Amino acid sequence: MIAELEELVTCESFSSDLAAVARSAKVVGAMGARHLGAEPEFIVVDGVTHLRWTFGEPKVLLLGHHDTVWPMGTLRTHPWSLVDGVARGPGVFDMKAGLVQTFHALAGLPSLDGVSVLITGDEEVGSVTSSGLIQETARGLAAAFVLEASADGGALKTARKGTSDYRVEVYGKAAHAGLEPWNGANAGVELAHQILAVNELAQIVDGGELPRAAATTVTPTVLSGGSTVNTVPAHARVGVDVRVSSLAAQTRVDELMRALSPTTPGTRIEVSGGPNRPPLEEAMSAELFALAQRLSPEPLTSAHVGGASDGNFTAGVGCRTLDGLGGVGGGAHADHEHVIVAEMPRRTELLRALVSAVLAGE
């Protein structure tokens, strides 16, 4: 398992480099073929390479991704290493350890009939080309197991917030800032009003009644505007990141974003974007987490997390979903990314037991 983890980590697969993602897909496909005894279906959508294996009439889906957030050349500064039982390298935790565990778990089954495996190539950039494929593959199945990295302490992820992305554009009128600013319509000033309004939307949706882990967040992020220091800005914009625990909250935020209106005379606003991933609500994971607790020889913990994954899509089409079954470690997207390799066989055995139980009708 360690040798195969090194093989995947040292094949860099930055999401934005489609050639690198294609090379990674070949490595992942060859590894899967060795374990599963079958070649994958390579699915290329808008240049992004995804892989899928299907055995018989699918009943259970194992879901992961092989792209990473790390730019090409990161291995020079973050090389593969294994020291004192801890593996490091770009993507080792998020989520190449999960891919190795997937193949080893399935290789130990007496039959793969009823199993589907989908490994996508653009999860880290929003699953733009794979979301439809994920939904198509998961729809009508009994369960989806997502091999994303675990939460702190190895906790399984039983709830994930849904995500929405917006851009608020303000259009005004340029004028000389020194000679006649009154003849302009300041898009920057209006943007300030909109940022303050957006910042209050979460309070409107939740009423301040939810704990922080479950609370809606509506966060103004990247902003820009204006052209020169002596010109009244004619254009300004801000990006908005939204995280929600329920579909009702996601719908309500969308309504409020669409209802934004300008307060500065002579300006107008446009709101684009919308929901990206539905929430993975705890109700969609409860039965599978209870099953995992019964099957695990060790106590299991669960976590609600703000980050989304492709498990949001499987839950969104009504497929029961359990997430965070991949590597145990930490530092996703950070310099200290790492995996505790002693946990890999244990997680592999748990995954194998879960798949066997669902195939048996539990």
The span from the CA of 82 to the CA of 271, in Å, is 48
Same domain as 285, residue 247: no
Express each pLDDT in 230-242 by its tens digit: 999 999 999 999 9
Same domain as 152, residue 184: no
Q: What are phi and psi of 65, to 5 degrees?
A: -145, 155
Checking if the pLDDT of 211 tops 90, the result is no
The span from the CA of 158 to the CA of 135, in Å, is 19
Of the residues 4, 6, 12, 67, only one is catalytic, namely 67
Same domain as 36, residue 156: yes
279 Cβ neighbours under 8 A, 6+ residues apart: 159, 160, 161, 162, 244, 245, 246, 247, 249, 250, 312, 315
Same domain as 53, residue 146: yes
Checking if the pLDDT of 213 tops 90, the result is no
Count of the separate structural domains present in the chain: 2
Express each pLDDT in 291-333 by its tens digit: 999 999 999 999 999 889 999 999 999 999 999 999 999 999 9
Checking if the pLDDT of 214 tops 90, the result is no
Domain final residue, candidates 277, 297, 327 = 277
The span from the CA of 243 to the CA of 162, in Å, is 6
Of the residues 6, 123, 124, 148, only one is catalytic, namely 123
Q: Can 123 be counted among the known catalytic residues?
A: yes
Instruction: Give the closest residue to 134 by CA, choosing from 338, 263, 295, 316.
Output: 316
The position carrying tokens 């994958």 is: 40
30 Cβ neighbours under 8 A, 6+ residues apart: none
Domain final residue, candidates 277, 294, 317 = 277
pLDDT at 300: 97
Residue-number span of the structural domain to which 19 is assigned: 2-161+279-359
Q: Average of pLDDT values for 167-180?
A: 98
Domain final residue, candidates 277, 299, 320 = 277
Which two structure tokens, joined as six digits, stand for 336?
């200290």
Q: Average of pLDDT values for 182-211?
A: 95
Q: Average of pLDDT values for 62-77?
A: 98
pLDDT band at 106 (very low <50, low <70, confident <90, very high): very high
> Which of 89-98, 121-130, 149-158, 209-218 bottoms out in mean pLDDT, i.e. has the lowest?
209-218
Enclosing H/E stretch for 97: helix 97-107
Round the average pLDDT of the chain to a whole number and report it. Answer: 97
Checking if the pLDDT of 208 tops 90, the result is no
User: Letter for the amino acid at 255?
Assistant: E
CATH of the domain at 236: 3.30.70.360
Please give the distance of CA 150 from its chain centroid, rounded to a whole number: 13
pLDDT band at 362 (very low <50, low <70, confident <90, very high): confident
Checking if the pLDDT of 130 tops 90, the result is yes
Enclosing H/E stretch for 110: none
Instruction: Give the closest residue to 328 by CA, choosing from 342, 349, 311.
Output: 342
Same domain as 179, residue 89: no
Q: Three-state DSSP class for 214? A: coil
Same domain as 188, residue 157: no
Q: Per the omega criterion (within 30 degrees of 0), is the bond before 284 cis?
A: no
Q: Can 17 be counted among the known catalytic residues?
A: no
pLDDT at 306: 84
Same domain as 347, residue 225: no
The span from the CA of 362 to the CA of 359, in Å, is 7
